């Protein structure tokens, strides 16, 4: 049986080989979006005419003997905080509707278009990226393709659900405290949060400047590596974008895991979740023959410090609107921004001091191991509208706690792949494959090994009619 959701690599090969036209590929994607988006609510803007015209240009280039690039004719979407020329960058908000349209594409969109990819639209998210659920009061909730009554996770929920549902083979999102990894795990696809500063953020709406990352979502590891390779490279328009030369990851995928020292995170990362979340980690560890455990020190304090930095920097960006237009915010976002605006400055400074100490301690661990495994989320996707849950006997709020295993790691900018576990008949869960800074190739090697051995895979959802 043919794969109902071919990955970006295979689509591009078919387009370049003239087995199928880019225009027909994009038209099929738009048809799927037209069918599924009313049920899943992934896209806030659909660029049908523009996408078809761009696809025609790819077909014309191929007809003239030119190579449009490694993503020739592949449709993709982006979280609605990426600037798209001629489109207002909503960032999930009502307030941003009053802003003028973007005058040019974000850097990462430009790089993908140069590789032949076709942008089909912008995707739903938590307002201003402040959330883990993608239950947006302005644009409605995105729905999990595996169960329409459940959340996608967030804040990149629309981007993830669109890939999980096969509307597009890949998309781009952002990760400040877990917004790539959490929805990737809950919807059952691959998500890469690169090292902080590895990919340019130029042309994207910020949330927390000292924590924001961008990265891709895919259904295969080879797509993840290919897209990351195409996006790498210094961009002077982003002051934190690294000047390190790009290191191609795609050729590394065939190396396997020989020579990699792999350990499982214990302590904080082995408690506070449902048993199945930890069973998935154990299953991955067994497949990798990883017997060692390792303790990431003070992870609970790292999460607390990340909360403080997030609240302070996030609220500071919106102070004027909080004063003048408080009624136009999503209430959940507004209340957290208002709380952040009241945090004493010395708390923020102390959190940043702790961050440096914590970064140094975790980097010391990578002298002992190359890869650390941890759960991505504490349980499967909660129901839409669910406000509390009980984890490990403790009742807590859903919205801030879906990312309890991701937040202490994005806090120090480590490269991480969230891999979807092969769990037929069960809702998706994910495992974080964590590496030292700038070691994206290593985490992708592990992900590729797990995919090749049937441990990690992106399940195909059966999306009901209503």
Pick the catalytic residue from 155, 220, 315, 442.
Answer: 155
Pick the catalytic residue from 179, 220, 410, 418.
Answer: 179
220 given a catalytic annotation: no
DSSP string, 36-70: HHHHH--EEEE-HHHHHHHHHHHHHHHHTT----T
Q: Could you tell me which residues come within 8 angstroms of residue 375 by beta carbon, excluding any fewer than 6 positions away?
A: 269, 273, 277, 278, 280, 281, 405, 429, 430, 431, 432
Beta carbons of 53 and 120 less than 8 angstroms apart: no
Phi, psi (rounded to 5 degrees) for 173: -140, -170
Least Cα distance to 197 among 247, 243, 248 occurs for: 243
Token pair belonging to 320:
């004027």
What length is written for the chain? 466
Beta carbons of 189 and 458 less than 8 angstroms apart: yes
Does residue 155 have a cis peptide bond before it, meaning omega lies within 30 degrees of 0?
yes
CA distance 60 to 66: 9
Token pair belonging to 418:
């969230």
Pick the catalytic residue from 14, 21, 23, 79.
Answer: 79
Using DSSP's 3-state secondary structure scheme, residue 338 falls into: helix
Token pair belonging to 12:
């591009």
CA distance 341 to 345: 10
Phi, psi (rounded to 5 degrees) for 287: -65, -30
CA distance 354 to 225: 33
Q: Could you tell me which residues come within 8 angstroms of residue 270 by beta carbon, excluding any fewer than 6 positions away?
A: 264, 278
Q: Alpha carbon of 423 to those of 3, 184, 189, 322, 340: distances in Å?
A: 18, 15, 12, 44, 39
Using DSSP's 3-state secondary structure scheme, residue 165 falls into: coil
Active site residues per annotation = 79, 155, 179
């Amino acid at each position: 049986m043919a794969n109902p959701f071919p990955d970006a690599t295979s689509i591009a090969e078919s387009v370049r080989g003239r087995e199928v036209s880019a225009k027909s590929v994009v038209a099929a994607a738009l048809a799927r979006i037209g069918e599924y988006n009313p049920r899943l609510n992934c896209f806030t803007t659909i660029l049908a005419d523009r996408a078809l015209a761009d696809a025609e240009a790819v077909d014309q280039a191929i007809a003239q003997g030119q190579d449009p690039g490694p993503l020739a004719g592949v449709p993709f979407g982006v979280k609605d905080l990426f600037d798209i020329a001629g489109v207002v960058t909503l960032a999930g908000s009502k307030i941003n509707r009053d802003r003028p349209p973007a005058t040019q594409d974000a850097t990462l969109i430009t790089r993908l278009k140069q590789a032949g990819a076709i942008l089909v639209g912008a995707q739903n998210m938590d307002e201003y990226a402040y959330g883990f659920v993608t239950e947006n009061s302005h644009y409605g909730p995105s729905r999990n393709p595996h169960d329409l009554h459940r959340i996608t996770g967030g804040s990149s929920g629309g981007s993830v659900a669109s890939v999980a549902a096969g509307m597009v083979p890949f998309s781009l999102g952002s990760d400040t405290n877990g917004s790539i990894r959490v929805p990737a795990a809950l919807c059952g696809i691959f998500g890469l949060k690169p090292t902080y500063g590895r990919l340019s953020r130029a042309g994207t709406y910020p949330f927390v400047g000292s924590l924001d990352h961008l990265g891709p979502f895919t259904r295969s590891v080879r797509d993840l590596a290919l897209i990351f390779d195409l996006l790498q490279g210094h961009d002077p328009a982003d002051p934190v974008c690294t000047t390190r030369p790009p290191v191609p990851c795609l050729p590394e995928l065939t190396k396997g895991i020989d020579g990699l020292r792999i350990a499982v995170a214990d302590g904080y990362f082995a408690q506070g979740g449902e048993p199945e979340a930890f069973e998935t980690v154990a299953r991955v560890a067994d497949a990798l023959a990883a017997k060692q455990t390792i303790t990431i020190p003070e992870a609970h304090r790292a999460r607390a410090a990340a909360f403080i930095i997030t609240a302070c920097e996030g609220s500071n960006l919106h102070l004027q609107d909080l004063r003048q237009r408080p009624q136009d915010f999503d209430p959940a976002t507004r209340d957290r921004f208002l709380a952040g605006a009241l945090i004493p400055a010395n708390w923020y400074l102390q959190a940043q001091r702790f961050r440096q100490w914590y970064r140094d301690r975790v980097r010391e661990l990578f002298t002992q191991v190359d890869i650390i495994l941890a759960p991505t989320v504490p349980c499967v996707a909660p129901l839409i509208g669910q406000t509390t849950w009980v984890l490990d006997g403790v009742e807590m709020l859903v919205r801030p706690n879906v990312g309890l295993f991701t937040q202490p790691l994005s806090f120090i900018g480590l490269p991480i792949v969230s891999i979807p576990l092969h769990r037929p008949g069960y809702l998706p869960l994910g495992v974080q494959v964590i590496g030292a800074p700038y070691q994206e190739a290593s985490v992708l090697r592990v992900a590729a090994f797990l995919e090749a051995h049937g441990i990690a895979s992106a399940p195909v959802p059966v999306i009901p009619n209503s």
